[in-house]
Amino acid sequence: MSEPGSLDAYEETRPFRVRSSTAEWAAAILRRRVTQGGLLPGSRLVEDELTAELEVSRNTLREAFRLLGHERLLEHKLNRGVYVRVLSPADVADIYRVRRMIEGAAVRRPDKDPIALTALRDAVADAERAAAEGRWLDVGTADLRFHQIIASLNGSQRVNAMMAQLLAELRLVFHAMDPRVLHAPFLPRNRELLTLLESGRSAEAEHLLATYLDEAERVLLAACA
Amino acid sequence: MSEPGSLDAYEETRPFRVRSSTAEWAAAILRRRVTQGGLLPGSRLVEDELTAELEVSRNTLREAFRLLGHERLLEHKLNRGVYVRVLSPADVADIYRVRRMIEGAAVRRPDKDPIALTALRDAVADAERAAAEGRWLDVGTADLRFHQIIASLNGSQRVNAMMAQLLAELRLVFHAMDPRVLHAPFLPRNRELLTLLESGRSAEAEHLLATYLDEAERVLLAACA
DNA sequence: GCATATTTGTCCGTATGTATA
DNA sequence: CTATACATACGGACAAATATG
């Protein structure tokens, strides 16, 4: 507690514990390792090692495990330990079924929040700039942000939370792929989708999104197998 | 559990708690009390009382609290305790936004699973029988099952889980209402919706469902305020 | 198949911080 | 302000399950 993570320069230092609990702090560090690829799917998380490294008690670490398990980033096998989740092809297919439902309902809505449209323009511009400069990981981040904003057009906090969790899960598969191959084909389509949304052509946007998601699913399913 | 000190090798001290963790077992008991109205919204859950009653440790009970907190059945106020969630009108509106999305997508699908249709017929029949016999709580249970099956037409495990959670949350409001007033108006419409689904009239089913959900939302919003 | 070491699951006691009467 | 009640977090303990030789 007194000396937070002096050996680990990568990690954020422990924030003020006024607002967040120690368990959430530990969960945040592990979450970042998983979503950013530091911990690959299938890796085992040993309690002893992590309590020593994070300098938290076993109880607190186990609470962090539970938080991330509920986000489907970790898998808890009884008496056998905690592992980074490995997505099956069935998982990927299921995630894309939900994405088609959420994003489809979003673009079908007649009333588009102008603030969200502005945020969409920013996300597309960021992705294009990152691509031009070869920062493909940043392209991926902007792409995920784009789709998170699309989902937010539904105007539901619960849908936003579901979408955030789905995209975090998808990142587990992303690490098995070249980010350029993964994101480059979809950049122009994000731009096109944005144009259709801005001009209110919902039916065309819905169709474009459907084919978009079908193809993305195929790419990721190939990476799974 | 009942006798922590006794080391009798032959007696089974924890019949079923070996398979699932003790925390999940405790969570299951509390979940049941909340969804079945034994613990009303706003009630405080005191650690000391529950550790004594359930005969589990504080750590284990806290694990159970976390689990139910993520299911949105309990509310965790930092340093101030754990309470049964009280749904605001905004929560009810949000839940119905998601229900319109999930159930709308379900009835719009062209391919209806025949097994699900059979299950729907059973649910409607159960509800009607229970209503005829004045068992209004059972009517409510069958009604929720009806809508859970509707959601399952999407063919997604994740959507099923979301729907189950939404309906569990809705039960929090149900306890503030007379179950007869709540469910009776919707019985004939479930029957009608089933007929439309069986005959493949998706557009009509979608419209009926939309007006159905709008009215149910109004009823519950009134109960909230 | 057995014996041992490791790891997890659970519980306890306690110290500290925080909110409320 | 004090007192009280409670949540947060830690470390130790031991049984049970699993992994290892």
The CATH number linked to A43 is 1.10.10.10
Which residues of B lie inside 8 Å of A (Cβ-Cβ)? 19-21, 59, 62-63, 66-67, 70, 78, 94-95, 97-98, 101-102, 104-105, 154-159, 162, 166
The whole-number pLDDT of residue B127 equals: 97
Chain A positions in Cβ-Cβ contact with residue B85 (cut-off 8 Å): none
Q: Which of A39, A59, A84 is the last residue of a domain?
A: A84
Chain A nearest CA to B121, separation (Å) = 25
The beta-carbon neighbor of A78 closest among B21, B62, B158 is B21
Domain annotation covers residue A116: yes
Domain annotation covers residue B97: yes
Q: Which of A84, A118, A138 is the last residue of a domain?
A: A84
Number of domains chain B contains: 2
Mutate to test the interface with B, among A16, A65, A80, A94 (most CBs of B within 10 A): A94
Domain annotation covers residue B79: yes
Give the CA-to-C1' distance from B59 to D12 in angstroms: 15
Chain B positions in Cβ-Cβ contact with residue A63 (cut-off 8 Å): 62-63, 66
A93 and A79 in a common domain: no
Q: In which residue ranges of chain B is pLDDT below 70? A: 1-21
Chain B positions in Cβ-Cβ contact with residue A105 (cut-off 8 Å): 101, 104-105
Chain A positions in Cβ-Cβ contact with residue B155 (cut-off 8 Å): 97
Q: Do residues B74 and B82 make contact, with C-beta atoms less than 8 angstroms apart?
A: yes
Do A155 and B97 count as a contact with CB atoms less than 8 A apart?
yes
The most confident of A7-11, A104-108, B86-90, by mean pLDDT: A104-108
Chain B positions in Cβ-Cβ contact with residue A97 (cut-off 8 Å): 154-156, 158-159
B123 and B75 in a common domain: no
B137 and B168 in a common domain: yes
Give the CA-to-C1' distance from A66 to C9 in angstroms: 14
In the 3-22 segment of chain B, residues within 7 Å (Cβ) of strand D are: 7, 18
Confidence of residue A4 (pLDDT cuts 50, 70, 90): very low
Q: In whole angstroms, how far apart are CA B118 and each of A70, A150, B203?
A: 32, 36, 21
- Give the model confidence (pLDDT) of B78-90 as tens digits: 777 788 888 999 9
B142 and B108 in a common domain: yes
Confidence of residue A30 (pLDDT cuts 50, 70, 90): very high
The most confident of A3-12, A19-28, A214-223, by mean pLDDT: A214-223
Cβ A17 to strand D below 7 Å: yes
B97 and B78 in a common domain: no
B220 and B190 in a common domain: yes
Give the CA-to-C1' distance from A4 to D6 in angstroms: 27
Residue in A closest to B65 by C-alpha: A63
Domain annotation covers residue A7: no
**Residue ranges with strand state E in chain A:** 44-45, 74-77, 81-84
The beta-carbon neighbor of B156 closest among A63, A98, A159 is A98
The whole-number pLDDT of residue A19 equals: 56
A113 and A70 in a common domain: no
The beta-carbon neighbor of A63 closest among B19, B66, B154 is B66
The whole-number pLDDT of residue B15 equals: 35
Map tokens 């994405």 to a residue. Answer: A99
The whole-number pLDDT of residue B121 equals: 98
The whole-number pLDDT of residue B48 equals: 76
A138 and A95 in a common domain: yes
- Give the model confidence (pLDDT) of A162-202 as tens digits: 999 999 999 999 998 998 999 999 999 999 999 999 999 99
- Give the model confidence (pLDDT) of A112-165 as tens digits: 999 999 999 999 999 999 999 999 999 999 999 999 999 999 999 999 999 999
The whole-number pLDDT of residue A58 equals: 94
Domain annotation covers residue A107: yes
- Give the model confidence (pLDDT) of B147-166 as tens digits: 999 999 999 999 999 999 99
The beta-carbon neighbor of A59 closest among B59, B104, B105 is B59
Do A158 and B98 count as a contact with CB atoms less than 8 A apart?
yes
B156 and B56 in a common domain: no
Token duo for residue B76 = 């965790």
Do A101 and B101 count as a contact with CB atoms less than 8 A apart?
yes
A38 and A120 in a common domain: no
The whole-number pLDDT of residue A92 equals: 97
Q: Which residue's CA shows the smallest distance to C1' of D5?
A: B80
Looking at this protein, which amino acid is placed at residue B53?
A: E
Q: Supply the pTM of this predicted model.
A: 0.88
Chain B nearest CA to A101, separation (Å) = 7
Q: Say if residue A205's pLDDT is above 90.
A: yes
The whole-number pLDDT of residue B35 equals: 84
Give the torsion sign (CA, A51, A55, A59, A63): negative
Polymer length in residues for chain B: 225
**Residue A103 belongs to domain spanning:** 89-224
Angle at A223 between CA A218 and CA A225, to 5 degrees: 95
Give the CA-to-C1' distance from A55 to D21 in angstroms: 32
The whole-number pLDDT of residue B57 equals: 79
The whole-number pLDDT of residue A62 equals: 92
Chain B positions in Cβ-Cβ contact with residue A157 (cut-off 8 Å): 94
Give the CA-to-C1' distance from A80 to D19 in angstroms: 10
Domain annotation covers residue B55: yes
User: Average pLDDT of A58-68?
Assistant: 92
The whole-number pLDDT of residue B37 equals: 81
Domain annotation covers residue B12: no
Q: Which of B65, B84, B103 is the last residue of a domain?
A: B84
CATH number of the domain bearing residue A122: 1.20.120.530
Polymer length in residues for chain A: 225
Domain annotation covers residue A4: no
A93 and A80 in a common domain: no
B80 and B119 in a common domain: no
